[in-house]
Structure formats: C-alpha cells, structure tokens
Structure 1
Amino acid sequence: MNASQMIRLQLNGQTVEALPGETLLQVAQREGIDVPHLCYKAGLEAAGNCRACVVEVEDERTLAASCCRQAVAGMVVHTDSTKAIAAQKMVLELLLADMPNHANPKALKTDNELTHWCQQMDIEGSRFDARAAVPADLSHPAIAVNMDHCIQCTRCVRACRDVQVNDVIGLAFRGEHAAIVFDQGDALAQSTCVACGECVQACPTGALSPAKAAAHQPADKTVDSVCPYCGVGCQLTYHVKGNTILRVEGRKGPANEGRLCVKGRYGFDYVHHEQRLTQPLVRREGVTKNPVDLLDPEQVNSAFRPATWDEALALIAGRFKQIKSTHGGHALAGFGSAKCSNEEAYLFQKLVRTGFGTNNVDHCTRLCHASSVAALLEGIGSGAVSNPVMDVNQAEVIFVIGANPTVNHPVGATWIKNAVKNGAKLIVADPRRSDLARHATHFLQFKADSDVALLNALLHVIIEEKLIDREFIEQRTEGFDDLKANVSACTPEAMSSICGISPAELRAVARLYATSSASIILWGMGISQHTHGTDNARCLISLALITGQIGRPGTGLHPLRGQNNVQGASDAGLIPMMYPDYQQVCNPEAQQRFEALWNTPLSNTPGLTVVETMQAILAGTVKGMYILGENPAMSDPDLNHARKALAALDFLVVQDIFLTETASLADVVLPASAFPEKTGTFTNTDRLVQLGQQAIHPPGQARQDLWIIQSIAQGLGLDWQYNSLEEVFDEMRRAMHSIEGITWQRLQGEHALVYPCAHEGDIGQAVVFTEHFPTPNGKARLVPARYRKAAETPDSEFPFVLITGRQLEHWHTGSMTRRASVLDAIEPEPTALLHPEDLKALNIEAGNTIRLQSRRGEIQLFARADTGTPPGHVFVPFCYAEAAINKLTHAALDPDGKIPEFKYCAIAVHKK
C-alpha cells in the first residue's frame, strides 16, 4: 500500500498512521501503547462488550471502544486521559467484583488477563459486592467450567461459533440473568462439545480451563513443535516442567493459525504412561509366539526378559546376517512408520535397501492412500496434493468425498466451515452422513461401493452439456476421447439406480462444480480403501482436468493425509517400488543415481507391499522383519491371518514406545523415543515441511530412533557416521530434488517451508501444476474407469456392510491415544454405530453388547445408535484392541494401489 492511502491521526499527542479499516486498538498496539482489553482477541470478530478498552476521542461526547472504532483521518485520540483512565479502571473494578476472592486480584490465575490489567492499572481490589457463587461444572474430562470466573466477554462463543464452527456455546437470557451456556443449558460432558479447546485458549480469565490440575502449574520452559497426529500439521507449543509436559497450546502455524483439536490439545500425556518401554527386551528362550494371547498383559510381559543395548543390537545383527546369508536379502523386509520423522523414514528405507539388499520396505500409506497416489502418479505425474487445504478459502465450490474431516482432520474442517460461512458452496458425498453435511449445499449420501458410478455420471453430464474447458483439455491433457466414450452410457438415469442419487441432483452437482470460478476436491480413505480405489481417484482427477479446475488457487486435487507424516514418509522412499522422491526402483537411471549416492549396489526388483509381505511370510519366502513404529497386528486386514504371519517369522524386531500388539510377537523389542522426545522434520498434507523440536527426554534406557537405526545399520556392516540431524537432512536434499532449496538453517529460522522448493531462497510452490504437469510430455493423462463391485458383497448369511475408520478422540491403532488419559476418558470403550431402524429390527438397544461376524472372524462390542450410518451398514473404529475390527475386514487388494478393501465387506450382527 502506498503512503497516500495511509490514514493520519493524533494518538496521545503524536501523529501516527493507520491502515484503512484498522481499529484504534490495533493502531495503539502497533505504536507500543497499552490499552486494557478483555473481550478483544486477535483473530476473533470484535464485540466491544467489555468496554475495558475505551478511549477518549476529542469532539465526541462519549468514550469509544477502541477495539471496534476504526481510525479516521484527522481523529484526535487519547488512551491515557483522565476521563479514559477513570473509565477503564471502573470497568476493570466492576469485572473484578464478579471474580472469587475479588478483593485480591493476585489470588486469581497467574495467566488471568483481568489480573494482568488490574496490575497494570494499579487496581488492588474492588469496592463492589461480589455476585452470587455459580456452581462449577467438572463433568468433562478435558475442560473445567467455573463460571465464577466468567466476565461474559463472549470470546468463547466467538471461538466456538466463528473459528471452529462447532456452534456449541451461546449467550443465553438477558440482563443480570445472562449466562454462557452449552447447547440447551447442558452440562459440558452431555453437550455436543468436541473438546477442541478453542474456548479454553480464548478465555481470558480461566472460566474455561484445562480440567487436569497439572495444566495449571507454571512451566519451566516452552518448546515450539508440531502435532503428532493427523496430516493437517498443526503447530503447537509444549509447556514443560522438569521432564513433564503440563499442557499444549496452539501456535500460529501456516496450517492451523493457532487452532487445535481434542487430540492435539489433550492427547499428549501418553508419553508419560506407565507402560512406556524403558529398556530393550528379548524373548525368553523356548517361549513361543501365540497370536491369540495378545490381550493378556501378564502372559505377554512374561515372554520377555530385559537386555542391554549391546546384547540386543548384537543379536539383531547376527540374526539378520544369518537370514540374509542363508536365504538372500529378499527374505528380509521392513515396515516403517508415518509417525516417524522424514530423517528417520529416509534412513530406515536406506537401511533396508543397502543393508538388507531388498526393496521390501513399506509403511501405512499402503493402507490409506496408496490407490490415490497410484492414480495421481499415473494421471498427473505426482503423488502429492496440488493445493493446500486452506485454499478452500479461495474456492467457490468445495467438493468433499469419501472423507469425514470433522473427525479425521478437525482443524482442516474448520477452514472448510469458515469458507462456507463466507459464501462458498459445499458438496459432501459419502455413504455416511457426517457433521460436515449440515453445512453442505448438496449432500450426496450415495450407496457404499458405488463411487465410480456416481463420478462417471458427473463426468457424463459435464461432457454432454459441454461444460468442459476445451482449451485446457486440448493443451494440457491427453486421452479425452477415450474418457468421453467410457462415460457416454453413464447417464444420471442409468447411474442413479446404482448410486442411489437422483438424476436431478447429479446434474445439479455436476453443473455447480464445472461452472464455478474455482472448484477444489478433497477426498479421504472412503475413496482410496477399496479394490476400485485407484478407479475412484482416476474419476476425481478426470473431473478436475476436463473442467480446468487445477493449477490455480482455490482449485485442484487434495487427498487428505491421515497421519502426521504419511506425506513425508512416502516422499522419503518408504515405498517398495520407489526410491525417495518417487523414483522407480526399476528405472536404471534412478538405480544408478542412488547407487552412486549410497555407494552400494541396489536391487532393481520392486519390493513387497504390506499385505504381500504377510502372504510371503506364510509362503515361507520372508523370514525376518524390522518394524519401526508400525502396528500391523492391529492395522492389517484379516488380522487373524496377519497375526499368524507375524508369529511365523523366524526373527522379528519391533522398535516402538509401547509393547504394542505387534511388539508382543517380536523376538527383540527396542524402546524408542516418543514424538515430543526428538527433533526432526515432518511433511504435512499440504507438502509443508515443518520442524518438530524435542521438548522432553526419553525415559530410562529408551533411545532416539535415529540412533537405533544407525546402530543396526552399523551392525550390518554399513559405514554410517551421521553425527547430526542436519547431516541426514542434507543427504535427503541431495537425494530429493523437491526439497533441494530447503536447508536445515532455513527450517530452524522459518520452521515451515513448502515444496517443491528448487533452490535456496525459493519460497516454494504452494500451488503446483500451474503451467504443466511433471510428466514426460507435460500433459496429464485422462484414464477411464468402469464401475465394478467390491470383492465381497452382502448375502443372506452376512447381510450387513461393514465400514471401518477413525473416530475423533482416537487415532490409528490407538497405541498412543488409548494411553492419553483425557482421550480415553472421553471414548473408553469400543462401539459399533448402527442406524436406529436396524437396532429396532434386531431387537437391540443402544448400549447392548453385540457380536459382529464375518467370514474371517468375530468380535464383541457395544451398540450405538447413529442416524448418519445408513440402514444395512455398520461403522466401527479400528483403534480398540479388545474389539479389533480388522479381524473381520477383507484382504482383497486394489490391483494398482495394492491397498486392502477396508471400507466394504459383508458381516452379520448378532445380539449377545
């Protein structure tokens, strides 16, 4: 903005400048002038209801609330006049009267903003009578409600309504009876609160505060880091005392702007759990591995004995060498983890390829977005997202399909809800009705397994009605004629009977998406976890390409990553057919490049995926495994089969922070470092490389994962001498063109940089494919997909459809969140969600114990009524070991992505 557009005014006798639309409070803060304020908080809409920030404006008869009054040219303002100061003090004293122990403001919380301003204004007590005491609401495990501290500033209301858009908190009644309420005056634990804690972070007085007493202790230090859970990559700050994390607060990061969800804010104390591994364990001689005993802690613990690090590492090196010399390197395999840092993922896959001599290395992307990545690489030459989640703020139309962001990516969901409040049109397509559907212009509750039919109908309408971007198609794509021919018969009338959506609705959605100025698609594992998952993604890619809705802000394709570093782990090469940066292992040029970089001959045979490895174990071709931070004994399909395979290994090493179900089947267990106990880089779903920093030390003899990986590599004869994380990251930069411009020094200063980042000083590209696609000819490929059914469909014996997934409070296999006290207190027991009509037909009441059965196994758990789950379907989260739902799921694979069909199999429901 040029100088002529600036506004000049007088502030406390000095001439100052303001931006158009800037408030007097903002001007004063920039000029270093303190003005008391309580209802105002940056990022929230100004309310002006506390009046603590009043200032005197000359030639006006009343005082003005500086948080609401905008600067005007020529205005003369006094924040420190006798009149203004007297009013500010009176307001603070009146508010102080509402506090317990109001005669002594120092008795209030140390971070209480009212206390702060009273101290700043030399107010030592209140002359006014205190109001009647308000009973505390301590019903919720995460948040304590003490309305004795409430000043009705409504910051909590605005945080809940406008930031997180959960619409739980309101201001009820009028006058002296006005009160902050949850829903219809419910206790917090009985309300629809999702415990994101945005209200706690917004509250200036502690009326809403963490329920845990330890969270109120003063911290010795604060450490900036990132969240260890989903792929949104929220930045946060740990408050630490000694070697204990007291509490977590959101930090102003590129992906979250200070926001967190219940897991990010309250799911941290798993690191202090009594079940943490603190020393290496070795299986006792003669103790067999019995996969049916995984839930018997006494039997599991008695199977191991403590060992020294020297003994454990020597045993590992000896056994792996023995297997390799006897059976060859392809008899070994490694599973890495998306919970690990980029540096750990990179060294792990390098160890498997150079130490074991095989490409048998994989991780959980095989179980979440492998089909999405396969379709993206095939169609546009890159497996990464085209635009960041926050680009929804620049979109006219947002299409969310096969995803439940309010549960799986809660902070990402807030940006979608914010965009809708600002005028964007939202299309939600899913067999289950999620909370996001209430914000949608169109909600398509299509029949499970009919994704391709639905999407081909949309493609048909767009092509038939000439809503395509012909210029984009001709200049930047190939294969349009084949696509057009493929969908020619996929009329809305023909596809409606398959997908269950009316032809009129299909046409309306197609037109809305195609004709908007900017449409963005976000999808989740409801798209990818099918035997036709790659076809599902192919259709979404075609939607974007034929309409030209890619390569610009507010457009594009975004498969939402499920774990905090699944993007980074994939980038770093934890994929059996890819070196780092998605370079094919069967490509001679790529092989030669990495042989030169690593100074080791490499195999050009693509390795085995997660499920293929389990099959190879039972076939006798894989004999030994090294598993880092992964829990396939809970996450794999057809768990009885997977656990049988793990137990059949000649030698299994598991490196983790708890004795997980997988670790229970190991020969050697290595105690690793939890997320807050290490430093490293992590790449979120937006391709944003962020620095996570160590806040506390590992317990006992637990060691940093990088140290363990390097020690095993050295035991296998590899001459690894990494002395710092920076050395590992620098080698990654040489291996991966996408991050060449990101240096360790830049990350330490900036904490977050997006790739591709071509050279030092480059700010990176948040939006890619702006001019061409990273394919040999620069063009994207349109790949037709035909509708086909799931590998297993319901019948008279197994009449229900099982859908698995995550729930808000728990994450992945539950190894962390089930040991986080607040999270497990909110959702302590396994439940199956069924439509009330199905419960009634089965004579089952909510809360009853039921038995779910498939052709592969059965489990028992509690029934829960859910109108969002369609009749004939059952939804179960996969985080409960005592009701491991993957005992029931099908191991049938997508032929391209090699991903199992977690989202569809046939089951029976029985009342116990």
Structure 2
Amino acid sequence: MSNPLVDMQKPDVIFCIGTNMTECHPVAATGLKKAVARGAKLIVADPRRIGLADISDLYLPLRVGSDTALLLGMAHVIAREGLINDEFIKNRTTGFDEFFEHISEWTPEWAEEITGVPAKDIEKAAIWYGATNKGAIYYTLGITEHICGVENVQSLCNLALMTGNIGREGTGINPMRGQNNIQGAGDSGALPNNYPGFQAVTDPEHQAKFKAAYGREVDLEKGITKVTALELCGDSIHAMLIDGENTLLSDPDREHCEHALRSLEHLVVIDIFLTETAELADVVLPATAWGETDGVCANTERRVQRLRAAVPPSGEAKPDWWIIGQIAQRLGFKGFDYDAPEPIFNELCELSPIYAGLDWERIDKGTTDILNNQWPVPHKGHPGTPRLHEETFANGRGIFSNVHYRDPAETISNDFPVWLTTGRRLQSYHTRTQTGRSQGIDYLLSEESLEVNPTDIEKWNLTNGEWCKMSSARGSITIKVKATNRSPRGTVFASFSFADVPVNLLTGSGYDPVTHTAELKVCPVRLEPL
C-alpha cells in the first residue's frame, strides 16, 4: 500500500475495484465507511453487487475479467476531458506522450462493449476521479487473480500517475493484503526473485552482499514459483516442504495439484492442524498457532509490529522458525542455530535497506504513534514512511504502461456458457483451517452455496435451496443453489473455503505470465439441476 490505513478516511473520491472489502477486510473497511459518511464519493467496480456497492455513489457492474478495458476507457476520458496533472507528469513521470497517443482509441463506448458497463457511467467515474485533488484507489485479488493481473495493476498506476493522485495524504494505490503477514513474508525474501528487502537476486551487488553474510555461495538465478514447482513434481522435484498453507484447497485445478503432491517421493507439511494437504504428507510437523508465537509481523500498510505469545504451545508444537532451523541444521547448513526470534529479525534488519533503522529492541518497546515503524525505515532514528512516493519514486520516475485488453484464458461457450467467479466470505476465512473448527462460525455458515441470479435459476431449471452439478473443463462438483440479486445474470459466485465443495477443482484455466498468479476469478462453467 502506498498510503496508511488512516488515510482511508481522507479522500474526496474513492475508487474500489476488485475488492469485497466489507467481507474480506471488515475492520479496515470501517475507515472507508467513515469517509463515505463524511461525504466522500465512492465508486465500486465489481461483477457482483457486493456490500460496498450498496453504499456507493456509482456502481460499475463489469463483466468478470474485463477490468483492463474499463480502466483504459477511464484513462481515455481523463485525457479527453483535460483532467491530467501536467505538472506532476512533467516533473515525476516518463512515457506519457506515448501513453496519451495509446489511449486515444480506447473510448468508453469501446469499453462498454467489453465490460457491459454503460459508457456514461465509465465517463462519470473517470471525471470524478480525474477532477478530484484527493483520489484513492483500493484493490485486492479481484484485480490480480487473472492472466492479465499485472496489466490490471499497471492500468491502475496509469490512472494515479496521469492525475497526480499519489504521494499525498488521502491518495495512492492501495492493495489490501489477503492474509495477516503476507507483506512480512515478501519483506523477508519469500519470493523467487528477491532476497530479503526486495533486493533482486540477479544483481551482482546483492549476490556479493548475501554471499558474505551467509558465508557460502548463493544462487545466481531467479528461483521458481509454486506453479512451476507443482509442474515439476515427480520429474525434477522429488521432495517438498509446505509451511502454513492448505495448498490442496487454495490452489486451482485441484486434481492436478493432488496428482503433483502424490508424485513426490517425500512431502513434509508444517501446520497447526491436520489439513487436507497435511493428510497427504509423509511427515507433519506441528507448528505453534498465532496466540502461541513470539515474533514480528508486517501488515498490509507496511507497519512492522511485535507479536507476543499469549499462551504456551500445545503438546509438541514448535515455532516455524525453530522447525525450519532444525531442518536446515540436519541438512548441514550453518547459521541456523537460532534460539529466539530476536536474532532472526535483527539479521533481517541488517541485510534489508528498507528495515535498516529497525531492530528488535525498537519493535519490542512499541509506540503510541500509529504511523510509526512503516517501512522504509532507512536508518536509526528514522520514524518510518507512512506514505510512499511523496518526493520521488524508487526508480526515479513513474512509468506509464501501454497495456492492451485481452480476453481471459477461457471464455464462455456452448459447452460452458456461464461465468464462475470465486472469492471469500465474511464468516469463513480462506480454507477454514481455523474458522472451520469454531462451532459459532459453523453456526453462521455451515455450508457453501452457489449464488445465482433468480432469473437465471428459472432459465436454467434450477431450484433455490436444491443441489446442482457445476462443471468446467477440469471436472465437476455438486453445490447447493442460492437465489440472490448479488450475482448478475450469466455469472455465478462461490467461495473456495469448504473441503466438501472443492470449487477450485474447477478453476485453473491460466496464469499471469509474469507473476504466475492463477486466474481464479474467471472460469466458464455449465450448470445442471440435480
């Protein structure tokens, strides 16, 4: 996120796209509700009529997978109406002339044909965002879980750059993280192309730095993504360790995923419960849960926070860092003889420029300033950086991207005439590894259902509350039908949380070529009554 969460209350125009924030980030969404109550205009773009749409000033019900077309149409209108920030573009960006020429052909009428959103509404959204002095963009996995996820994000960046809505209070481009320490995982180097602190593994300077720090040779090439790793299971990959992820439920194309994991000679899973993935493992190592763990977390706004154990671990459970360190030592690696999380965090701070001003002592003391300790913290005594890009961009100038619209990997056909999109629900978290074991939560939501527009229920001979068979090119599942106007005609929705309704058995038609993020938000299906 370029801006802190407190800024959510400060924009005059808020553009939310591909984010069901009131269900997926309900606490953070209270800031957005306060902004709306104060009088801020809210624009919501989403295929479903989510809760945010109910409080919006303008709802754009675009077809699944058509985000890039919508954003190109908005960019066209902003340029056409002269709402660009000339001074910001001149002083802080590059490539605008080519971009200006590029977007001249992507009219709102063209975007309407692809997205289904009326051209007049695309124009209104663009003018509201382009004309304001404080416009903020919020998005989540509804933007990134597509084969064009990178282009979607670049398109959002284009809007912010051409209007100068970045680097100031109440503005910015703000992706809401999907899990509590996903940001911290990336910061720590859990990415195939970066060392800790987002330092590129292919940079000779970084290679020399980590070679000296670790006292051994380091890989000189990028690592592989999980998508590639699963493709290579049973071929060049014979063993795998999965830590804290229920891969079998959360990954697309479940049959492919299960086949890959069963192809391994040895599978190790570290988790706090015996998940569906752990049941396939040869060895399961019990980890400590959140309330049993000491450590540090970096949240969605880049704020680094101390975590303190509330209760002792159960049984033989151990912290993840201890388990991984023990495995490393048994494999013959030196430098993993940690006895507490403190030296691990201090090592991260010593090696990562964005953490250079932090250490365990500073984090352990805490702070009463909610805008403190947000990286980058480049040196000791630095308070942190609540807002990114205030004076300059990391690469010097913001770069305009000349993106093009492209269809999803699979589109509807006679065989599969219905759009399926997936997501999360307020009552159940992710794959229900934890929330599925709560009687209270199970009372609120005990089973998964397929959200279908009432008109489509009648058209497809389905029955509200009864079961149907839903099929894609990868397989079939049975799921209960639920009539709701939240789903537009021709599009259905289900979460991937329930093991007995494995929705991700159907998904997996394609991946973003840059990030290898699966296209979980778009899947053509066929529905049949049972």
Superposition TM-score tier, normalisation by shorter sequence = over 0.9
Give secondary structure in 2 for the equivalent of 1:570.
helix
1:632 to 247, 250, 258: 247
CA distance in 1, matches of 2:448, 2:126: 39
Letter in 1 for 2:504: N
Pick one of 373, 384, 387 that aligns with 1:767: 387
Q: Corresponding residue for 1:600?
A: 216
The amino acid that maps onto 1:542 is N
Matched, 1:422 2:38: yes
Alignment partner, residue 571 of structure 1: 187
Q: Check the 8 A contact 1:520/1:549 in 2, yes or no.
A: yes
In the alignment, is the contact (CA less than 8 A) between 1:611 and 1:891 conserved in 2? no
* 1:773-784 map, 5 Å: 773-775=393-395, 778-784=396-402
Does residue 623 (structure 1) correspond to residue 238 (structure 2)? The answer is yes
- The question of whether the paired residues in 2 share the 8 Å contact of 1:389 and 1:558 is answered with no
Aligned 1:820-859 pairs, distance under 5 A: 820-859=438-477
Tell me, which stretches of 5 or more residues in structure 2 are unaligned?
A: none
Counterpart secondary structure, 1:696: coil
From 717, 723, 744, the counterpart of 2:339: 723
Q: Which residue of 2 aligns with 1:905?
A: 523
CA contact (8 A) 2:295 2:342 kept: no
1:721 CA drift (Å): 2.2
Q: Paired residue for 2:168, among 552, 557, 566?
A: 552
Aligned letter for 1:472? Answer: F
The Cα offsets for residues 644-672 of structure 1, whole Å up to 9 and x where unpaired, read as 00010011111111111111111111111
Partner of 1:524: 140
Deviations 1:682-704 (A, max 9, x none): 11110011112101122212222
**1:477-525 deviations in Å (ceiling 9; x for gaps):** 1111221122111111222111112222111111110111200000011
Q: Which amino acid aligns with 2:124?
A: A
Q: 1:798 aligns with which of 413, 416, 421?
A: 416
For residues 690 and 838 of structure 1, the distance between their equivalents in structure 2, rounded to whole angstroms, comes to 48
Q: State whether residues 386 and 767 of structure 1, in contact with CA within 8 Å, keep that contact through their aligned partners in structure 2.
A: yes
Aligned pair count reads 525
CA–CA distance in structure 2, aligned partners of residues 804 and 444 of structure 1: 18
Map of 1:583 onto structure 2? 199
Give the match for residue 361 of structure 2.
745
Conserved in 1, the CA contact under 8 Å of 2:45 and 2:62?
Answer: yes
Which of 386, 410, 431 is the matching residue for 2:47?
A: 431
Q: Specify the SS of the correspondent of 2:500.
A: helix
- Residue among 559, 562, 579 paired with 2:178: 562
Could you tell me which residue of structure 2 aligns to residue 293 of structure 1? none
CA distance in 2, matches of 1:598, 1:853: 50
Report if aligned partners of 1:611, 1:636 keep a CA contact under 8 Å in 2: no
1:663 matched to 2:278? yes
Query: RMSD across aligned C-alpha pairs, in angstroms?
Result: 1.2
Note the alpha carbon deviations across 1:689-733, whole angstroms, 9 max, x for none: 111210112221222222211111110112222222111111010
- 1:394 aligned partner, one-letter code: K
- Once the two structures are superposed, the pairs formed by residues 254-265 of structure 1 within 5 Å of their partners are none
The Cα shift of 1:785 comes to 0.9
Give yes or no for contact 2:67–2:143 (8 Å, CA) kept in 1: yes
Q: Match of 2:394, as an amino acid? A: P
Q: Secondary structure at the match of 1:818?
A: helix
Identity %: 40
Alignment partner of 1:393 is 2:14: no
Q: How does 1:148-547 map to 2 (within 5 A)?
A: 385-547=1-163
Question: Any idea what SS the aligned residue of 1:798 has?
Answer: coil
Q: Is the 8 A contact 1:830 1:883 kept in 2?
A: yes
- Which whole-Å CA distance do the structure 1 matches of 2:64 and 2:418 have between them? 11
Counterpart amino acid of 1:665? L
In the other structure, the counterpart of 1:866 is 484
TM-score (norm. length: structure 1): 0.57
SS in 1 for 2:105: coil
- 1:758 aligns with 378
| Aligned partner letter, 2:427 | E
User: Which residue in 2 is equivalent to 1:17?
Assistant: none
Name the residue aligned to 1:613. Answer: 229
Instruction: Tell me the amino acid that sits aligned with residue 876 of structure 1.
Output: A
Deviation digits for residues 113-145 of structure 1 (CA, Å, limit 9, x no counterpart): xxxxxxxxxxxxxxxxxxxxxxxxxxxxxxxxx
Distance between the aligned counterparts of 1:623 and 1:435, measured in 2? 45
CA distance in 2, matches of 1:717, 1:884: 40
TM-score by length of 2: 0.97
Output the CA distance in 2 between the equivalents of 1:708 and 1:890: 32
- CA contact under 8 A between 2:241 and 2:269: conserved in structure 1? yes
**2-structure distance, mates of 1:468, 1:909:** 46
CA contact (8 A) 1:390 1:412 kept: no
**Looking at both structures, which has the greater relative contact order when contacts are Cα pairs under 8 Å and sequence separation is at least 6?**
2
SS of equivalent residue, structure 1 residue 859 = strand
The alpha carbon displacement at 1:891 in A equals 4.3
